Chain A
Amino acid sequence: MATKWRCSHRSAVARLTLESPADVRLLDKGLSAGEALAAFNAMHDQAGGIASFLGKVRPGEDVKALELTHYEPLTLPGMEKLAGQALDRFALDGVLVWHRVGTMQPGEGIVLVAAAARHRRAAFDAVDYLMDHLKSAAWFWKRERRGDGANGAWHWIEPRGDDHAALARWQ
Chain B
Amino acid sequence: MAVRIVFLGPLREAAGTDSLEVSAPLDWDGLLAVAGSVVAEQLRSARVHVACAGEVLADKTALRAEDGDEVALLPPVSGG
Which residues of A pack against B, CB within 8 Å? Answer: 55, 68-69, 71, 73-74, 77, 99, 110-111, 134-143, 156-160, 163
Whose C-beta in chain A lies nearest to the C-beta of B10?
A156
Contacts A69-B9, A74-B72, A141-B10 given: A134-B79 contact, CB under 8 Å? yes
CB atoms of B78 and A159 under 8 A apart: yes
Chain B residues whose C-beta falls within 8 Å of the C-beta of A141 in the assembled complex: 8-10, 75, 77-78
25 contacts between A and B (CB under 8 A): A68-B80, A69-B8, A69-B9, A71-B72, A71-B74, A73-B70, A74-B72, A77-B54, A99-B80, A111-B80, A135-B79, A135-B80, A137-B77, A138-B79, A139-B77, A140-B77, A140-B79, A141-B10, A141-B78, A143-B10, A143-B78, A156-B10, A159-B77, A159-B78, A163-B79
List residues of chain B with CB under 8 Å of any chain A CB: 6, 8-10, 51, 54, 56, 70, 72, 74-80
Q: In whole Å, how far is A110's beta carbon from the nearest beta carbon of chain B? A: 7
Q: Tell me the bound Cα distance from A99 to B9 in angstroms.
A: 17
Q: How many A-B contacts are there with CB distance less than 8 Å?
A: 61
Beta-carbon contact of A74 and B78 below 8 Å: no
Q: Interface centre among A141, A143, A159, A160, by most B CB within 10 Å? A: A141
Minimum CB–CB distance for A26 against chain B, Å: 10
Which residues of chain B are near A71, meaning CB under 8 Å? 6, 8, 51, 72, 74
Contacts of A157 in B (CB 8 A): 78-79
Question: Quick check: B8 and A136 within 8 Å, CB to CB?
Answer: no
A74-B51 in contact (CB<8A): yes
Which of B8, B9, B10, B70 has the most chain A CB atoms closer than 10 A to its own CB?
A: B9
Residues of A close to B10: CB separation below 8 A: 141, 143, 156
Contact (Cβ within 8 A) B74 A140:
no
* With contact pairs A141-B9, A156-B9, A156-B10 given, residues A73 and B78 touching in the complex (Cβ less than 8 Å): no
